[in-house]
Amino acid sequence: MKDNLYQYILGIADNSLILGQRMGELCGHGPSLETDIACTNISLDLFGQVRSYYHYAAKIAGDGRTEDDIAMLRKEREYVNVLLVEQPNTDFANTMARHFLFDVYHFLFLTELKKSKDMTLAAIATKCIKEVSYHQRFSSDWIRRLGDGTEESQMRMQAAINDLWTYTDELFHQTEADKAMVSEGIGVDVTKLKAAYYEKVNTILEESTLSVPESKYFQRGGKMGIHTEHMGFLLAELQYMQRTYPNMEW
Amino acid sequence: MVTTEQNIDPKLIPILEAVSDPEIPVLSIMDMGVVRTAVIQNEIVKVQITPTYSGCPAMDVIGDDIKKALEDAGYKSEIELILSPAWTTDWITPRGRKALEDYGIAAPLGAEADKDVLLHGKRLVKCPQCGSTNTKMVSQFGSTACKAQFQCDDCLEPFDYFKCLK
């Protein structure tokens, strides 16, 4: 029970940590000042949420590790985020498409997590969902603006959606910890979110004059700790300070 | 069922009212609604505060400031960060809303009006400088997580709008 709960919390929190790191990379590099600030604001929200989750995970683990240790000092195989969130920022269409494909899931997921029997997780979800509703508005808005924009922006947004589509199915894949927590009434049965997810995503894509990819080939592995080649580079940057100056604080 | 009521010892109110939000110095943390509990137990003041946004970097500073203010008044204290019930902009007091406006930040509208201005570009937010509602959103995200960036088309001043959080 304890191990499953710990692992289950990481399964939620790692997605926000890694996506938060990706969004944070845009600090000083956003396409406009307002967008730059928006992306870093979102990153800050995600890191804030992550602190609540890891703080709880550290308490469950009870082995002296802190929230920072859990965030910064695991090896690549020990991170269980989905492959989608670790994909790199290439062009802005890609960055927004990745964020949108995760936001729609995140919102549906938190809506269910609010009903968890675990009071701490329910409280965190209730807090986070208010923020995530803003994230979802922001990314959906960019899908529409770029999709239904110029020929160039539409071409890029369609390419981004096509590229990232292969990572969407993993969101609805259950791990052993997921199954155990669902049976305890603590976890969310992600398989049940799939229909609502694709309905919402497809609606927004269609509104944005984009076509829904038809490919049925999907990648998975992140939830089992098997990541894409991008993850190592991401962690190198994320963990640099703690690895170079162990235990440093500020 | 969670209670949304505050439990604050009247003796402590003047001390806590003197502590302000580090990012909006005109706004007391009491008017912000982030202090949920402040009671004296065994000569120690137990304070519970709740963050406006999860990643709000002001929370650590607010915690330290409360501790310092209570210490100056002769109290030892313990500060606890709680997430439930989650903070909402409804907890900003009328005095707090006025302080925001005077400071140049437009106070949050209701939830529906908020959606109208942020999603559909309706012009409902009143410019804190000139009072005109001929204002437009520049960005859904502003200088901090809790604000959106607006501009007034009459006086042309940019300003922050405190987003509705429910």
The answer to whether the beta carbons of residues B28 and B18 sit under 8 Å apart is yes
The answer to whether the beta carbons of residues B81 and B49 sit under 8 Å apart is yes
B109 and B76 co-located in one domain: no
Is there a domain that residue A141 lies in?
Answer: yes
Is there a domain that residue B1 lies in?
Answer: no
Task: Give the end of a domain, one of B37, B57, B90.
Answer: B90
| Interchain CB distance below 8 Å, B84 and A126 | yes
CATH number for A50: 1.20.1260.10
| Whole-number pLDDT of residue B67 | 96
B69 and B132 co-located in one domain: no
Q: Which domain holds residue B41?
A: 7-90
B48 and B11 co-located in one domain: yes
Stated pTM of the model: 0.88
Q: What is the ipTM of this complex?
A: 0.74
Size of interface A-B (CB pairs under 8 A): 72
Per-residue confidence band for B142, with pLDDT thresholds at 50, 70 and 90 = confident
| Whole-number pLDDT of residue B32 | 92
User: Helix crossing, A92-113 with A33-61: angle to 10°?
Assistant: 40
Confirm or reject contact between B54 and chain A (CB < 8 A): yes
Is there a domain that residue B95 lies in?
Answer: no
Q: Which residues of A touch B140 (CB under 8 A)?
A: 38, 134, 137-138, 141
Confirm or reject contact between B121 and chain A (CB < 8 A): no
Q: Total domain count for chain B?
A: 2
Is there a domain that residue A249 lies in?
Answer: no
Is there a domain that residue A121 lies in?
Answer: yes
Task: Give the end of a domain, one of B67, B90, B113.
Answer: B90
Q: Which domain holds residue A49?
A: 2-244
Picking from B54, B141, B143, the nearest residue to A127 by CB comes out as: B54
B81 and B138 co-located in one domain: no
Q: What is the mean pLDDT of chain A?
A: 95
B149 and B79 co-located in one domain: no
Nearest CA in chain B to A141: B119
Picking from B53, B88, B140, the nearest residue to A38 by CB comes out as: B140
Q: Is A189 helix (H, G, I), strand (E, B) or coil?
A: coil
Task: Give the end of a domain, one of B46, B63, B90.
Answer: B90
Q: Between A11 and A31, whose confidence is greater?
A: A11
Q: What are the distances in angstroms from CA A14 to CA A54, A123, B9, B124?
A: 9, 18, 40, 39
Confirm or reject contact between B145 and chain A (CB < 8 A): yes
Q: Which residues of B touch A48 (CB under 8 A)?
A: 51, 53-56
Tell me what the mean pLDDT of segment B102-127 comes to: 85
How many Å apart are CA A203 and CA A184, to the nearest integer? 34
| Whole-number pLDDT of residue B60 | 87
Query: What percentage of chain A exceeds 90 in pLDDT?
Result: 94
| C-alpha of B69 from chain center | 19
| Whole-number pLDDT of residue B4 | 64
B33 and B84 co-located in one domain: yes
CATH number for B32: 3.30.300.130
Picking from A37, A48, A138, the nearest residue to B53 by CB comes out as: A48
Closest CA to B23 of B66, B55, B57: B57
How many Å apart are CA A207 and CA A142, to the nearest integer? 12
| Whole-number pLDDT of residue A15 | 98
B86 and B142 co-located in one domain: no
Is there a domain that residue A250 lies in?
Answer: no
B85 and B112 co-located in one domain: no
pLDDT in tens, A206-217: 999 999 999 999
pLDDT in tens, A44-63: 999 999 999 999 999 999 99
Residue A237, Cβ density class (10 Å: 0-12 exposed, 13-18 middle, ≥19 buried): exposed
B84 and B109 co-located in one domain: no
pLDDT in tens, B57-100: 888 899 999 999 999 999 999 999 898 888 999 999 999 999 99
B116 and B153 co-located in one domain: yes
Q: Total domain count for chain A?
A: 1
Per-residue confidence band for A2, with pLDDT thresholds at 50, 70 and 90 = confident
B85 and B124 co-located in one domain: no
B13 and B72 co-located in one domain: yes
Pairing of strands B147-152, B24-28: unpaired
| Whole-number pLDDT of residue A62 | 93
